[in-house]
Chain A
Amino acid sequence: MNLDDRARTASDALLAVTRDDVRVPDALDRLHHGRTSPVRTGLAALAVVALVVAGLGGVRWSAEHLRGSAPAAVAPSPSTRVDLAVPFSVVLPAGWSRQVYGSAQAVLHGPNGFYLEVVVDPSPATAASATTQKLTAESFARWIAARTDLWAATAVMTTVAGQQAWQVDLLFGPDARPSATCDGPGVDCLPLIRIPGVTLPLGLADGTAGRATIVQLGNGRLIAMTESGDSQHHLEEVVAAVQPVLDSITFDHS
């Protein structure tokens, strides 16, 4: 068999099995109803971490600290303690550093402009989400996933540092309109997470993808972690780069 014959046979076979496998109406329905695939929704992360891709079109998950007083940068070390209201330790690879903003917020910066943001005692960013029920990681994640202005995957349960967590992947919906300022001037977003003691919320900037993980600690407190990228695929790259850092986190419950 010559190459053209072999290639056309292989192409015909590929097209045939793909047409059998793919349910186009279902896929189109997912697109219209804003549901991203669940395939990549299960990676473990820690609390609410916002990974901002600086230098690639602006801040993604953003917060007031980005334009607030200058934080103290700490050089990376084999094991770094982060003294938030819920302290934790993390092993930062070469090139990583951390910045701590008060007692509720820390950002772990990677060498490629990624950063992972950790928020202690987060809450939903909009007043409409106020409820008399006790906020849990699950209810928080489900509230995010239910936002109609986002394309969100179903919230999935995972673990972070041995703690139960709920994780949801997000994509800025085509119909979404930024409704808040989440960081420096000119950067608007969909507000998602309020940080204790900070006026401006964390949110998802236009055209970006993000991952939020809400960790449920044994004492009822929550920690939120977010990551983001310019697209879903870029987010995966970010997630892969950050994963070793997340895996190294241990909470100090003392």
Chain B
Amino acid sequence: MGEPRTGEATAWEELPDHVGPPRLRAAQPFDDFYSREFASLVALARALTGSTTAEDIAQEAMIAAYRRWGEIEQLDVPAAWVRRVCANMSTSLVRRRAAEARALLRVGGLRREHTELAPLDEDFWLQVRRLPRRQAQAISLHYIYDLPVSDIADTLGCSESSVKSHLVRGRTALSRHLSTDDEASS
């Protein structure tokens, strides 16, 4: 199946199901996928970047999926693919944040506003972002999506033992920096 073709798909979707070549029906599953996943994908990007550009990162990950939807939809868990792309884009962006911030200063008021989190919650994600890249990704996937270790491993493309290690180290660091009961009792 080829990539969904935007313009044609829009027109065909208004016709009965039996009309039109089957490949064009791919547009609808993608839209469902998008509608189901996009908001949480933005949350993942925001968790990992803390940036008002989170929606753009999530959109870019979705665009990447859209461009290859014929392949992506064949995967066991298409969402895992797009989450991995989003997570990698987000942490890559973190490494470039100094440059991006300088660039965005030139743009002035074009940045999109978003609702602020409560200070306690914002501080939690700030500490997550200070973790090493893989730890931050594993922690974010674990808590935002409530994913088990095996699914995180599938998403990040690494072994379950690696994920366990990232989670343990990440959680230890977070407990220390956030002064939670875990740290107090340890």
Indicate if the CB atoms of A1 and B181 lie closer than 8 Å: yes
| Partner-contacting stretch, out of A14-22, A105-113, A125-133, A214-222 | A14-22
Does B59 contact A17, Cβ atoms closer than 8 Å? Answer: no
Tell me, in angstroms, the Cα distance from A59 to B16 when the chains sit together: 43
Q: Would you call B60 and A232 a contact (CB within 8 A)?
A: yes
Taking a contact as CB atoms under 8 Å apart, the answer to whether B174 and A3 are in contact is: yes
**Contacts A175-B5, A237-B99, A240-B102: A32 and B10 contacting too (C-beta < 8 A)?**
yes
Contact with B143, one of A8, A33, A207, A239 (Cβ below 8 angstroms): A8
Q: Is the CB of A24 within 8 A of B35?
A: yes
In the assembled complex, the Cα of A22 lies from the Cα of B40 at a distance in Å of 10
Q: A39-64: which residues lie under 8 A (CB-CB) from chain B?
A: 39-44
Q: Which residues of B contact A33 (CB under 8 A)?
A: 6
Contact A13 B117 (CB under 8 A): yes
Determine if B106 and A39 form an interchain contact, defined as CB atoms under 8 angstroms apart. Answer: no
**In whole angstroms, how far apart are the Cα atoms of A241 and B96 in the complex?**
11
> Which of B72-80, B118-126, B130-138 binds A?
B118-126
**A236 touching B31 by the CB < 8 A rule?**
no
Other-chain contact of B43, A18, A40, A243 (Cβ < 8 Å): A18
Give min CB distance, B8 to chain A, whole Å: 8
Chain B residues within an 8 Å CB radius of A7 = 124, 139, 143, 174
B20-40 CB contact bits vs A (8 Å, 1 = yes)? Answer: 000000000001001100111
Q: Hey, which chain A residues are within 8 Å of B104, CB to CB?
A: 40
Given contacts A28-B31, A175-B5, contact A22 B55 (CB under 8 A): yes
B47 proximal to A (CB < 8 A): yes
- Select one of A2, A18, A20, A240 contacting B96, CB under 8 A: A240
Contact of A174 among B66, B96, B180 (CB under 8 A): B66
Closest to A20 in B: B115
Contacts of A199 in B (CB 8 A): none
A147 contacts the other chain (Cβ, under 8 Å)? Answer: no
Q: Any chain B CB within 8 A of the CB of A134?
A: no
Task: Determine the chain B residues whose CB is within 8 A of the CB of A146 once the complex forms.
Answer: none
Residue of B31, B39, B47 touching A19 (CB-CB under 8 A): B39
Residue of A nearest to B90 (CB): A233
* A3 and B96 form a contact (CB under 8 A): no
A241 to B125, CA, bound (A): 29
Which of B55, B63, B115, B125 has the largest count of A CB atoms less than 10 A from its CB? B63
Q: Does B149 contact A (CB under 8 A)?
A: no
Give every chain A residue within 8 A of B100 (Cβ-Cβ): 236, 240
Please tell me if A74 contacts chain B, counting CB pairs below 8 Å: no
The answer on a CB contact under 8 Å between A18 and B39 is yes
* A67 interface residue per 8 A CB criterion: no
Contacts A6-B178, A15-B43 given; indicate if A37 touches B56 (C-beta within 8 A).
Answer: yes
Binding site for A on B (CB under 8 A): 3-7, 10, 31, 34-35, 38-40, 42-43, 46-47, 52-57, 59-60, 62-64, 66-67, 89, 92-93, 96, 99-100, 102-104, 106-108, 110-112, 114-118, 120-121, 124-125, 139, 143-144, 171, 174-175, 178, 180-182
